[in-house]
Structure 1
């Protein structure tokens, strides 16, 4: 029972308010950015803002900030996805007989 820690809920409440206002500011930026700075990078900026918002929600509202195992799980999952994606890319670049394939041949 020695690994229990006491939590100051008033301090926690202050952190949650800061996170809330940060998310509100990022949401406002999501709407303002395309109107004021419409460039070819708008989609990338919107995805970046969305990723930051998702990370903040995961870390604070889902209480994953202090978890170590979740970090290794995410790293492993990304490694597996990149590994299989690279296998598919290598296979596609070496694809032979495309003209006789039932997948790539034109419909009859």
Structure 2
């Protein structure tokens, strides 16, 4: 029989730290476009979102101690990343209508 004792006050303090971190990151999400890194808003917002998602996954979904699940998630993400790099690479290599594309052509001066 396992006599695992848990210090609930210490565990609750950890959850409060994560909650405060999430609240601070949410505030940074709203403040960031007006104060710093204004030329790279998308990158900054995505990095903040990834950090918040990681905190939620690790602490609130209790994946902090699950080594096998974390390894499987990283493996699956790497497969998806390689797939997208291959697909986008093939698409970019076969893109031959740059002059007639509405994405890459200059806007009309009408």
Query: Quick one: distance in 1 between partners of 2:92 and 2:62?
Result: 43
With normalisation by structure 2, the TM-score equals 0.73
- Which position in structure 2 is the counterpart of 1:34? 33
1:64 Cα offset (Å): 0.4
Say how many residue pairs are matched: 97
Structure 2, gaps ≥5 residues long: 97-110
Query: Which aligned runs of 4 or more in structure 1 are off by greater than 3 angstroms?
Result: 89-95
- Which position in structure 2 is the counterpart of 1:14? 13
Mean Cα displacement is larger for which, 20-29 or 68-77?
68-77
1:88 Cα offset (Å): 2.6
- Which position in structure 2 is the counterpart of 1:76? 75
1:61 Cα offset (Å): 0.5
SS at match of 2:6: coil
With normalisation by structure 1, the TM-score equals 0.74
